[in-house]
Amino acid sequence: MKIEHLGIAVTKLDTSIPLYEALLNTTCYKTETVESEGVNTAFFKTGDSKIELLESVKEDSAIAKFIAKKGEGIHHIAFEVDDIEAEMKRLSNLGYVLLNDKPKKGADNKLICFLHPKSTNGVLIELCMELKYTN
Ligand code: CMX
């Protein structure tokens, strides 16, 4: 539906949050730890999309490995979808390599799924869908 956010790998949120607040002239509206991914995240609104800063909290996290290999920088592009399971099925049928079989819980109240960068011209792609709560 749209680019929901760009994920940027950073070494330290403490220094990158004020840097991006000054750059974007806005305040960070949320920080959140995602234990399952081994990351601390910080979010900024930029029009209809967001910037997500990602700091590793574990030696072997995807972000730690990425920074060790490539340094800080753009880590992934996240596209919002309205039916993540249908989209995962469609892309899998087309031969894209999904990194998880089922949607998993990500930051900022989303269900997410990653596609392997080897199947998408070297870019890590995330699908994300707003998690709806039913009572
Ligand atoms: N973008 C582009 N290429 C990437 C990449 C990225 N973000 N991360 C790794 N790669 C490349 C590596 O450079 C490597 O390329 P070469 O084979 O040419 O050297 C290749 O992908 C495989 O990398 P690897 O080091 O062998 O494998 P990793 O163990 O680092 O795993 C990946 C890579 C993408 C499968 C893993 O990082 C992953 O599962 N990512 C999805 C989850 C994730 O990224 N979570 C953090 C964000 C969570 C959040 O947004 O909340």
Tokens 């109240």 correspond to 109
Global pTM value: 0.95
Q: Whose CA is nearest to atom 44 of ligand 1?
A: 62
Per-residue pLDDT tens for 47-93?
Answer: 999 999 999 999 999 999 999 999 999 999 999 999 999 999 999 99
H or E stretch at 14: helix 13-24
Atom of ligand 1 nearest to the CA of 76: 7
Test site for ligand 1: of 30, 114, 123, 128, most ligand atoms within 8 A of the Cβ:
114
Distance of CA 96 to the CA centre of its chain: 18
**In whole angstroms, what is the distance from residue 20 CA to residue 82 CA?**
29
Per-residue pLDDT tens for 93-132?
Answer: 999 999 999 999 998 899 999 999 999 999 999 999 999 8
Q: Return the sign of the alpha-carbon dihedral for residues 123, 24, 26, 35.
A: positive
Ligand 1 neighbours, Cβ below 6 Å, are 7, 34, 37, 39, 41, 54, 62-63, 65-66, 69, 75-76, 99, 106-107, 114, 116-117, 122-124
Please, which contacts does 22-25 make with residues 24 or more away whose CB atoms are closer than 8 Å? 24/51
Reading the block at residue 81, the tokens are: 């979808």
Query: If you average pLDDT over residues 3-15, what whole number do you get?
Result: 98
Q: Where are the alpha helices (DSSP H) in 25-72?
A: 62-70
**In whole angstroms, what is the distance from residue 135 CA to residue 57 CA?**
33
Cβ–Cβ contacts within 10 Å for residue 38, how many?
18
pLDDT reported for residue 135:
47
pLDDT reported for residue 132:
80
